[in-house]
Structure 1
């Protein structure tokens, strides 16, 4: 029975001129989750990452620990939803100053309106289209795995929460509720068996307990 490990990217540079890059904490988070996967002695036959800088750099850091940096491939279908576009269309735009808390407070109602709008949204990507592309990307990863092989995917909280919800039959709950709890460099594990995919664990973060608790972030 093979497994797919979904890793949320390290902390981005919230409040900086360029958001899509890892913060100092984000780099350290990647090293910690890399060490955790190495401790578990997990081998990966397949690795994917979205094309966002924060996703790619997290993948590079983690896979460097595993000696598997060469196996990863970029796939834009693993990119996060476009939060700035959703805030512009269904909210009041990015708040100033753009702290993690203020962005989340503004984004929550905007995401709910985006979901409710369905295909009837001026956003570049609708909620149904978002769900379709990430499910398609996940299905493709599963299809590439031979019996007993594992895959790792570096993506974002909205993607992971939505897929977790999808496997439970509630993708909108996954986006609006579960994704809010997704930690940077948390681990979500899916198991592929004869009956399809099963959500085995969501948002594992024991590797950030104890002395590493200072690195618990959500952005």
Structure 2
């Protein structure tokens, strides 16, 4: 039976003006995951990734760690939503990144202040009451992600395993479609996805796809616990 392993990218440059670049921690996470999969004897038949730099860097470092002779196939459908636009449409002043950094940084608990603000920004986006404000409304994002997964499914042969490097939002909405979750629950899943964690989908005897595992990150336990991050 074919499998698809969805991998969230390694840690990016959270809080920086340009988020789309792996941190040194993110590079190590991706390489370690590659080593672990290789040591498990995983036979990966195809490697896919989004077109964002953090996706491509994660895929490249994963390959370096695993020594698999694969050429990543890029598919824009696996790109993350524009979180900066989601924030700016909720609070226009935050279209200036430094303004957001300064204001959030001045809070008693900056992490909590950002989480509260970002949660409200996301709720406005997925609430569906202001779709015209966004280049990609929530429902269009859902459709795009599902279409990308279907393209991979169509190419996954019997007993093949395809690995897809993507982002948390993409993984969350694909899980949503399989489990019939509401939007708020879907975003809660998004917040819990570990960097370089794995979510596995598998086809049953009737080719009906099902969720086999969610957010597996046991490869960052024990001596490698220092690699476990969420942001």
Query: Same fold, TM exceeding 0.5?
Result: yes
Question: Deviation at 1:103?
Answer: 4.0
Q: Measure the CA separation in 2 of the matches of 1:57 and 1:68.
A: 15
> In the TM superposition, what are the counterparts of 1:46-125 in structure 2 within 5 Å?
46-68=46-68, 70-91=70-91, 93=94, 95-97=100-102, 101=111, 102-117=113-128, 120-125=131-136
- Which residue is equivalent to 1:139? 150
Answer whether contact 2:124 2:130 (CA < 8 A) is retained: no
Tell me, which stretches of 5 or more residues in structure 1 are unaligned? none
Question: Deviation at 1:78?
Answer: 0.5
* Structure 1 counterpart of 2:219, from 207, 211, 219: 207
Answer whether contact 1:59 1:154 (CA < 8 A) is retained: yes
SS in 1 for 2:101: coil
* Structure 1 counterpart of 2:209, from 183, 197, 204: 197
Shift >6 Å, 4+ stretches: none
Q: Measure the CA separation in 2 of the matches of 1:75 and 1:104.
A: 30
2:135 pairs with 1:129: no
Question: Deviation at 1:203?
Answer: 0.4
- Structure 1 residues 139 and 174: CA distance shift in structure 2, 3 A: farther
* Aligned Cα root-mean-square deviation (Å): 2.0
Question: Deviation at 1:173?
Answer: 4.2
Tell me, which stretches of 5 or more residues in structure 2 are unaligned? none
TM-score (norm 1): 0.92
Answer whether contact 2:123 2:184 (CA < 8 A) is retained: no
- Which residue is equivalent to 2:229? 217
**Cα deviation 1:92-143 (Å, max 9, x = unaligned):** 5353147793543322111111111267331110001000000000011011
Please say which structure displays the higher CA radius of gyration. 2
Q: Measure the CA separation in 1 of the matches of 2:71 and 2:159.
A: 18
- Which residue is equivalent to 2:181? 170
**Cα deviation 1:143-183 (Å, max 9, x = unaligned):** 10111001000001111111112110126245311011000
Question: Deviation at 1:66?
Answer: 2.7
- Which residue is equivalent to 1:8? 8
